[in-house]
Amino acid sequence: MPTVTVKLYSVLFKFLCKRRLQTLIDSSLPENPNFKTFGVVSRPDESVAASNPSFSGNDVATKDIHIDPLTSLSLRIFLPNTALSSPNSETRFRVRPTTKYVDETLKQDDGVYGGYSPNMDKNCRKIPVIVQFHGGGFVGGSNDSVANDLFCRRIAKLCDAIVIAVGYRLAPENRYPGAFEDGVKVLNWLGKQANLAECSKSLGNWRGVGGDLHRRQIVDSFGASVVEPWLAAHADPSRCVLLGVSCGANIANYVALKAVEAGKVLDPVRVVAQVLMYPFFIGSVPTHSEIKLANSYLYDKSMAILSWKLFLPEEEFDLDHPAANPLLPGRGMSLKYMPPTLTVVAEHDWMRDRAIAYSEELRKVNVDAPLLDYHDAVHEFATLDVLLKTPQAQACAEDIAIWVKKYISLRGGEFSY
């Protein structure tokens, strides 16, 4: 059984969460359609971790960027310091630097920016990219929350990868398909960044006469575009993994589907795997766990239904909506084309049965789809702020890293159960 601390926290969490959901339902939405389109990516009561683009005192540097002028869609990039290793230092195991990196590119003479700035003249080490979608029932959470920041740092270090945490638009300000479209938009942006970086390199945009650093603008059909230096120097988009937490798993699964449908249009981005952590699946016909654990810890079924009412347009509200229930037949592309999928479930989570069933359906069509089932665990046991530092949360992150490295290791096939 969960600890007394978890049980007590669950009571408080449910009270606060239900009050927030009811407030969002009762409150009238802004009448300004432009505000609705722009949206919000965080709530005022969310505890936010400040970004730090420097490696001083950190294993992982972070920066926030806003990628869409028409919406509030934003990203937090997590860059592990192992990316600063020599390109020839690919080893069988995770690189553990023994010395602190001191580089003249960490500071600028004008004193404006004190973060890491890669030297594009050097052959920088390329590492995989993990695109992460946070949880929060589509109506809460954020990519820069304290809990999500700590979790993404952990994944970046364990997987030796760049983590891009997506700040998608929240409901009810932006209902379906807003958050799902934001996920696809990030993947397209990642491909565009890779192509722009290649153009910049071929045009010699990084250094001018006399060694003065400058960047020439590249103009495309969307106007002037700026190359993101961390990604240009260190990202390998051909080794891209999607990772979704709770409702973020629903977004990740949708993005994976769209990536398969897009095919080579996304080149050089290639989604090689996805991780679904306790996905937010539901359906009109209840499963055994939905009946037995309907009033379980933290997120009970009634709260989830309220979240779906806030997320889905009123005229489309249906627990068998494609965004909610991926198991109904006749829903588009066959599952056999989906990327390898790791599913994480918890013993005391009422959503577990439908996630297990989805994993089984993937295995039936020969998709590599292992299941990690954690004993005495609750929903969001590996990502919730009060549980992040527990041994079980650490073990879950390590298990995810072991499986993910099967698909992102340059040597391939080294990491498996």
**Catalytic residue positions?**
246, 349, 379
Nearest to 409 by CA among 92, 146, 20: 92
135 three-class SS: coil
Joined tokens for residue 110: 């004008």
Please, is 263 exposed, middle or buried when counting C-beta atoms within 10 Å of its C-beta (0-12, 13-18, 19+)?
A: exposed
Joined tokens for residue 118: 């890669």
CA atoms within 13 A of residue 140's CA, in its CB half-sphere: 23
Distances (CA, A) of 336 to 242, 341, 402: 17, 11, 23
Using CA of residue 269, residue 49, residue 397, residue 324, what is the dihedral sign?
Answer: negative
Cα(first)–Cα(last) distance of the chain, in Å? 27
Are 337 and 404 in contact by the 8 Å Cβ rule? The answer is no
Where is 4: in which H helix or E strand? helix 4-26
CB count in 10 Å sphere of residue 150? 16
How far apart CA 403 and CA 408 sit, in angstroms, is: 9
Cα dihedral value 360, 366, 369, 375, nearest 10: 40
CB count in 10 Å sphere of residue 390? 17
How far apart CA 147 and CA 299 sit, in angstroms, is: 17
Give one DSSP letter per residue of 49-105, joined into a string. PPP----TT-SEEEEEEE--TTS--EEEEEEEGGGGS-TT---SS-----S----GG
CB count in 10 Å sphere of residue 373? 14
